Chain A
Amino acid sequence: MISSSSSRLLDKIRAWLPALVLSPSFAAILLFVYGFIIFTGYLSLTDSRLLPSFDFVGLINYQKLLGLRHWNTALKNLAIFGGLYISICVILGLLLAILLDQKIRVEGILRPIYLYPMALSFIVTGTAWKWFLDPGFGLEHTMQTWGFLDFQFRWIKDRNMAIYTIVIAAVWQSSGFVMAMFLAGLRGIDTEIMKAAQIDGAGNFQLYRRIVLPQLRPAFLSAFVVLTHLAIKTYDLVVAMTNGGPGRATEVPATFMYSYTFTRSQMGIGSGSAVIMLAMIASIMVPYLYAELRQGGKT
């Protein structure tokens, strides 16, 4: 009798083991991610300045936030930056992957060249880009000393164009990674399908547009998720390249949030901007996650 009840206990443990093993990770995520999100949400409703305070003030911080001119600038910049960055990375990554998939003899050398920027920290590559784009001693200067006296490239100094230089550097960092994802996707496609399509008379362009690209859907999705995540978190790069300038022309939500929370001692407003950022991330990610989970449920 005793042995049977103890073996039943063992069975119970066995049944619960997976959940049990998963639970520490899950508990950590609940506390360190969702607990902290709630905490931030609460802070955004308080008069916290230098350090967290728990005096409730309602929605005043949000009112202030929405009235701030460069919060709007930051959002607008994120839209421009995010849109361009994601689409250029995807297009460039895809193009490189397709080109690299044409039995290129030096692929082994080219691939790491395209990939390595992802390995570097922006604390200094940002500086290198800043140098390179600086008209005084960078590309423009070099081209002029080479005799192209009319050559001009001063976007980084131009209030209206500076955000695009950030796009250039950011694309530089991540497009190689996207290339790797697409390359992996391409290598996973059944070659017989491609042969069949060629026999069916599809031209090169048609072949890729109609046959290959639709099969890269998972790679597109993964790339999109990774890029969105990077776009929204972009912080180091902006700080290293323009520090939000010229003026405040390249402020993005991440730099905004950091500066209000930590530099300006307006933790309440900073938290408010964080909450809005999270809401934006959620609005993009939740549909993706939903699709992901539904698919997971089927298998």
Chain B
Amino acid sequence: MAFLDIIGVTKRFGSVKVLHEINIGVEEGEFLVLVGPSGCGKSTLLNMIAGLEIVSSGEIRIRDSRINEVHPSQRDIAMVFQSYALYPNMTVGGNMAFGLEMHGISKSERQALVKEVAELLQITPLLDRKPSQLSGGQRQRVAMGRALVRDPDVFLFDEPLSNLDAKLRVDMRTEIKKLHLKLGTTTVYVTHDQIEAMTLSTRIAVMMDGHLQQIGSPAEIYQLPSNLFVAGFMGSPPMNLIPAKIVNGNDGIALHVSLHSGEMTALNLYQPSPGLLNQVGREVILGLRPESITDPDSADRNSPANQPLLNRIIITETAGSDTFVKTMLGGVEITSRMRGDSEVSANSDASLVVDMSKAVLFDPQSEQRIS
């Protein structure tokens, strides 16, 4: 039993199932991010937690009591919306106090709480303004203030940063993280931006097409994506997915991959699971993060499984701290992350180091990770 339990929750619109038996447990104080492409059902799930959508089947529990039938306002949750949903006819102060007023909190107490939160968010000078007189970032703060002032059991965020420009988004992200550290309120946060997901969360739930794909800590999700979708969705640039074949190598079993030239090379598997040993000849997909295919200088010297590789560079992209290099491996174009000052140039051969200790394997048919 967790603090917030989502148990076998399904959502149907008519005959269309948009959420399939979702099971998630959120511990008290956790920051859970629901991430996935648009239309994956993450907002629907959030709305069901809020009580804004009816749960077709399954259960949602907070502190081990079922809340399916509890009115949204009685669930002790607060929500920050993508459009902020500030009441246009009320001042900032009015917006923040409205929920308190609805819950029968006395005026003086309301004023005190609003003042406190406004100071926390540094929006005290804005309290008498109307939402239409605020900038996007200010509105965002007010929306958060409105949620904070309620001091709820659970915070819900529905893509709160997607309407901000890039710089502001990064600043607010940090702000939210600080707030969570300070207040420690259980939070469920919906976004389609995987960087937000990685930076903010204590745990991430990746969703697609109404199915929960994987749930775990950011590191787990990053290192050990449970299927091809998660591997491709999380991380920027995403994980390289390279068609390969299991062969007997000179040191245990290895993977046969084609190089740019069409030549085959073998990459030894690091500590392969016993099940793979007798699967020589099986087609698999090798997943490698860009930073695991890099130049010898950038390679992780502590890795027990660095393997060299010589391959033709197709194109290089300089990004300041990093240089991204495209090569052909296994018949697909892959991305390597190198140091910003690495001196490689297009149309020349370069030696690369593959860190096979970070490699993950997927089954091409089921698209699941082979453990």
Contact, chains A and B (beta carbon distance below 8 A): yes
Measuring CB to CB, which residues of chain A are less than 8 angstroms from any residue of chain B? 8, 11, 14
Neighbouring B residues of A8 by C-beta, 8 Å: 69
Neighbouring A residues of B69 by C-beta, 8 Å: 8, 11
Neighbouring A residues of B71 by C-beta, 8 Å: 11, 14
Shortest C-beta distance, B51 to chain A (Å), equals 11
* Nearest CB in chain B to that of A10: its residue: B71
Proximity bits, B26-69, A CB within 8 Å = 1, else 0: 00000000000000000000000000000000000000000001
Shortest C-beta distance, A8 to chain B (Å), equals 8
* Nearest CB in chain B to that of A8: its residue: B69
Q: How far is the CA of A14 from the CA of B74 in the complex (A)?
A: 14
Shortest C-beta distance, B201 to chain A (Å), equals 32
Q: How far is the CA of A14 from the CA of B71 in the complex (A)?
A: 10
Q: How far is the CA of A11 from the CA of B71 in the complex (A)?
A: 8
Neighbouring B residues of A11 by C-beta, 8 Å: 69, 71
Measuring CB to CB, which residues of chain B are less than 8 angstroms from any residue of chain A? 69, 71
Shortest C-beta distance, A286 to chain B (Å), equals 25
Q: 4 tightest CB-CB pairs across the interface, nearest first? A: A11-B69, A14-B71, A11-B71, A8-B69
Q: How far is the CA of A11 from the CA of B70 in the complex (A)?
A: 9
Shortest C-beta distance, B73 to chain A (Å), equals 11
Q: How far is the CA of A14 from the CA of B70 in the complex (A)?
A: 12
Q: How far is the CA of A8 from the CA of B68 in the complex (A)?
A: 12
Q: How far is the CA of A76 from the CA of B71 in the complex (A)?
A: 60
Neighbouring B residues of A14 by C-beta, 8 Å: 71
Q: How far is the CA of A14 from the CA of B51 in the complex (A)?
A: 14
Shortest C-beta distance, A281 to chain B (Å), equals 33
Q: How far is the CA of A8 from the CA of B70 in the complex (A)?
A: 10
Q: How far is the CA of A221 from the CA of B274 in the complex (A)?
A: 70
Shortest C-beta distance, B52 to chain A (Å), equals 14
What are 4 residue pairs bridging A and B, where the CB atoms are less than 8 Å apart in the complex?
A8-B69, A11-B69, A11-B71, A14-B71
Q: How far is the CA of A8 from the CA of B69 in the complex (A)?
A: 9
* Nearest CB in chain B to that of A4: its residue: B69
Shortest C-beta distance, A15 to chain B (Å), equals 9
Q: How far is the CA of A14 from the CA of B69 in the complex (A)?
A: 12
Q: How far is the CA of A264 from the CA of B101 in the complex (A)?
A: 65
* Nearest CB in chain A to that of B74: its residue: A7
Q: How far is the CA of A234 from the CA of B71 in the complex (A)?
A: 51
* Nearest CB in chain A to that of B69: its residue: A11
Q: How far is the CA of A256 from the CA of B69 in the complex (A)?
A: 59
Q: How far is the CA of A8 from the CA of B71 in the complex (A)?
A: 11
Shortest C-beta distance, A231 to chain B (Å), equals 38
Shortest C-beta distance, B70 to chain A (Å), equals 9
Shortest C-beta distance, B218 to chain A (Å), equals 36
Q: How far is the CA of A11 from the CA of B54 in the complex (A)?
A: 13
Q: How far is the CA of A11 from the CA of B73 in the complex (A)?
A: 13
* Nearest CB in chain B to that of A14: its residue: B71
Q: How far is the CA of A14 from the CA of B54 in the complex (A)?
A: 14
Shortest C-beta distance, A167 to chain B (Å), equals 44
Shortest C-beta distance, A104 to chain B (Å), equals 27
Q: How far is the CA of A19 from the CA of B69 in the complex (A)?
A: 20
Q: How far is the CA of A14 from the CA of B73 in the complex (A)?
A: 13
Shortest C-beta distance, B54 to chain A (Å), equals 9
Q: How far is the CA of A49 from the CA of B116 in the complex (A)?
A: 78
* Nearest CB in chain B to that of A15: its residue: B54
Shortest C-beta distance, B1 to chain A (Å), equals 22
Shortest C-beta distance, A6 to chain B (Å), equals 13
Shortest C-beta distance, B12 to chain A (Å), equals 18
